Structure 1
């Protein structure tokens, strides 16, 4: 049976974004919007925005900053012609005082004039290149969300924002490991090369069958677990900073921008 995800996987970007904005698609975005940079989202009151920006600057591997809105303006002008951060993410997480309150399909009723939106590059971006090279990705093929884990790797703090790194995991055949590392390294705005492969306990993961976010992924005999820095890391920092209100993407449910996926430097001018 053809699912909504199957239909959108081969759709052009305007069609995908239109379905998301209208609330007709609220699923994960892995495999969607081919050729375009996907982004994690963090939205904060202006009072906490500068410290969060410092946190991203000090931790570029898990937090590659690709776009920042003007205060109170929900349009992400540097990431596309018509990107409304209040509606163009399939699902949002709502945090109050560092605690996850729930999820929502859009945040029009929560947006205020003092809010600043941050977009951080996502590893879903380089997945298209991996698949084009013939490296299979189980979570895309099975319409699930990539597994994500807390680690024991400390990030550099900034103000009240502090965290240990979160990683995403993909299973790779040993014969393709070097190739997967080489391909992902070409995407520095999407976390770049992996930070670790092999023994997950070395980075503080005790059970790869029980991710902290996303869905479990089987590891076939002989496959190697490979771990990339993940843009869910800021959500852990938000738990520590406990701002009165913070809005993020729901893990796996990204903003798909108009920016080419192979862009190597932050976008500083409005997207054409």
Structure 2
């Protein structure tokens, strides 16, 4: 151990994050927390959620495997099992997401805070990595994140980047955007490259029109944030991408998280880092 290196700081930081994650899930379960989870439980992985009937799950699994940047798998449940033991203590996917979206035959039909009344014994849950997970290492490196500074949801946009289709699921990528000064953008690339399970490195930098985005002040999901004259937009693949694929596939029912409102797990980001 290096002289003066206090491991208790890391331990206390992790324990505080675990406590916050578990408290947040309980607040979501009781309907008291319905906001964006960006910035919560720093150091722990957050996940996008897709829930499908078993008859559609195998094909969606193939879609994820063919598009690991946009759809990095963290967990897949057994049919009908709502408790996700591999992701943390007492995680009930029916109630612990701050807000859910219900799609029927590809159309968004409603948003709700609890899906217990919709749960079926053939439901399969997919949890996909989320860019909120790498926000903590970015901030620990001294980088400022505009969505957190503004207490806003991250900006998300539809693009013209085509995904690799499976039999039923297809569509274009959704991206999240964070503005940085050029030198900070380089550092952000270096840091996020370590976390492929959280979408990894950016898929595009600058020139949003090249990926089909024509107005950064009008995100398709989330909130607009200011971009300063000395900054460039940096784009990461986003876990809202499957929601477009669901709209194209038109399963009889599909359940997802609402954009920016994730399942917060007990998994340390460090365990997902590749170097």
Give the TM-score taking structure 2 as reference length.
0.91
Say whether the 8 Å CA contact 2:195–2:273 is kept in structure 1.
no
Say whether the 8 Å CA contact 2:160–2:212 is kept in structure 1.
yes
Say whether the 8 Å CA contact 1:139–1:145 is kept in structure 2.
yes
Normalized per residue, which structure has more helix?
Answer: 2
Query: Which of the residues 112, 136, 140 maps onto 2:144?
Result: 136
SS at match of 1:263: helix
Bigger Rg, structure 1 or 2:
2
Partner of 2:176: 168
Partner of 2:60: 52
Gaps in structure 2 of 5+ consecutive residues: 1-15
- Give how far 1:159 is off: 1.1
- Give how far 1:81 is off: 2.5
Partner of 1:234: 242
Say whether the 8 Å CA contact 1:9–1:31 is kept in structure 2.
no
Say whether the 8 Å CA contact 2:18–2:266 is kept in structure 1.
no
Query: Which of the residues 198, 220, 223 maps onto 1:215?
Result: 223
Cα shift readout 1:94-117 (whole Å, capped 9, x = no counterpart) = 100000011001101111111000
Distance 1:15 1:75 in 2: 17
Distance 2:18 2:74 in 1: 25
Partner of 1:17: 25
- Structural RMSD (CA): 1.6
Partner of 2:119: 111
Partner of 1:38: 46
Query: Which of the residues 197, 201, 214 maps onto 2:205?
Result: 197
Change (3 A) 1:171 1:11: farther
Distance 1:264 1:125 in 2: 10
Query: Which of the residues 141, 144, 165 maps onto 1:157?
Result: 165
SS at match of 1:112: coil
Cα shift readout 1:224-265 (whole Å, capped 9, x = no counterpart) = 100000000000000000000000000000001111112338
- Give how far 1:142 is off: 1.7
Say whether the 8 Å CA contact 2:194–2:273 is kept in structure 1.
no
Give the TM-score taking structure 1 as reference length.
0.92
Moved over 4 A (4+): 8-11
- Count matched residues: 259
Distance 2:42 2:185 in 1: 23
Distance 2:148 2:201 in 1: 19
Partner of 1:5: none
